[in-house]
């Protein structure tokens, strides 16, 4: 009789095989994966085995001097069984507080409003998605190409990792090894902040390459004739605060602060009194729980907070 672990490994192999074959019910997959830590670990194991098999197959196809007698690489028919059996022999890895997804699982990922997600797409290359974001990625030659289709992401590239190019709107960003950058797609512009290392930026408006150094931010206007609209200093803690589930305000108007806050909230905060719009704010607050933020508005600025089932309204007391 098969053990519980054997059953879980077989289920993980089934999911990987289904994903390899084409579109799957992602909601059902995520529900299965998140329902038990053992499911997530099993899927990581079979994903690693799947990548090793693919790499072995490609190596042998390319090796014209290979000896006549070779150990068979599993075919599609017995791939699922091989994955399930092999999963038991792979060392499990520890999972952190965030969800981890591997490139074998899919070549795209999204986050819902208020959700963050960390993704390891290759050895030494990881991305983290902020709220309401969407990325795709694929392997190209000896490197990786990542498309930020919506929202905001952090890209990390460890020393010795494969090259990777980030596409955002029509701009291309090459991050140097050992670098870390934050990219955000806004309605009218792309915002690129380099927190470690350096990046090279190319835009459709110019063939020139713009170097963006550590702790510098570049803004690229979408559809504008100029290449880069501005390069300015950036505070790393403010840019990366969202990775700790926080928002960092330093003199922003209440209107701008709420535009940022509402990216994370199911029920938006709205200003019903125009005189409140220019209030200036400072401090760090939870991105998904505005209770302390609203309390500060009450205590410091005398703002009245009205909560109903669909929104939060701010008025003068």
Per-10-residue mean pLDDT, the chain, length 317: 75 77 71 78 68 49 43 44 47 39 61 94 94 92 91 97 92 95 93 96 80 93 71 92 94 96 96 94 94 93 92 92
The predicted model scores a pTM of 0.67
Q: Which two tokens stand for residue 300?
A: 């410091």
Write the DSSP string, 183-209: EEE-SSEEEEEEEES-EEEEETTEEEE
pLDDT at 16: 77
pLDDT at 235: 92
φ/ψ of residue 49, rounded to 5: -60, -40
Domain 107-243 has CATH 1.10.4080.10: no
Q: Please give the pLDDT value at position 204.
A: 74
Domain 245-316 has CATH 3.55.50.30: yes
Residue 13: the pLDDT is: 81
Backbone angles phi, psi at 188, to 5 degrees: -115, -5
| Ramachandran quadrant class, 226 (left: phi over 0; alpha: psi -120 to 50; beta: rest) | beta
For residue 20, what pLDDT is reported? 64
The predicted structure's pLDDT at residue 31: 82
Query: Residue 130: its pLDDT value, please?
Result: 97
Domain ranges of the chain: 1-97, 107-243, 245-316
Question: According to the model, what pLDDT value does residue 225 have?
Answer: 61
């Amino acid at each position: 009789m098969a053990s519980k672990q054997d059953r879980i490994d077989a289920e993980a192999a089934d999911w990987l095989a289904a994903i390899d074959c084409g579109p799957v019910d992602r909601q059902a997959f995520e529900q299965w994966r998140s329902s038990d830590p053992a499911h997530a670990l099993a899927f990581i194991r079979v994903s690693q085995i799947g990548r090793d098999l693919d790499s072995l197959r490609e190596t042998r196809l390319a090796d014209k001097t290979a000896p006549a007698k070779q150990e068979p690489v599993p075919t599609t028919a017995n791939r699922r069984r091989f994955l399930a059996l092999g999963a038991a022999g792979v060392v499990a890895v520890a999972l952190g507080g965030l969800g981890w997804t591997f490139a074998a699982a899919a070549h795209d990922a999204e986050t819902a409003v208020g959700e963050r997600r960390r993704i390891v797409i290759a050895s030494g290359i990881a991305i983290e998605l902020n709220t309401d974001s969407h990325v795709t990625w694929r392997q190209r030659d000896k490197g990786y190409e990542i498309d930020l289709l919506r929202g905001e992401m952090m890209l990390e590239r460890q020393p010795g990792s494969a090259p990777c190019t980030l596409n955002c709107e029509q701009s291309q960003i090459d991050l140097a090894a050992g670098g870390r950058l934050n990219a955000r797609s806004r309605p009218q512009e792309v915002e690129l902040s380099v927190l470690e290392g350096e990046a090279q930026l190319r835009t459709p408006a110019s063939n020139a390459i713009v170097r963006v150094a550590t702790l510098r931010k570049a803004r690229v206007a979408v559809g504008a004739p100029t290449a880069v609209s501005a390069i300015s200093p950036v505070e790393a803690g403010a840019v990366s605060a969202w990775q700790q589930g926080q928002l960092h305000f330093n003199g922003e108007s209440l209107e701008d602060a709420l535009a940022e806050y509402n990216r994370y909230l199911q029920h938006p905060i709205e200003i019903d009194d125009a005189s409140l719009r220019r209030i200036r704010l400072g401090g760090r607050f939870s991105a998904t729980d505005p209770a302390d933020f609203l309390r500060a508005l009450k205590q410091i600025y005398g703002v009245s907070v009205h909560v109903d089932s669909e929104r939060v309204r701010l008025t003068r007391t």
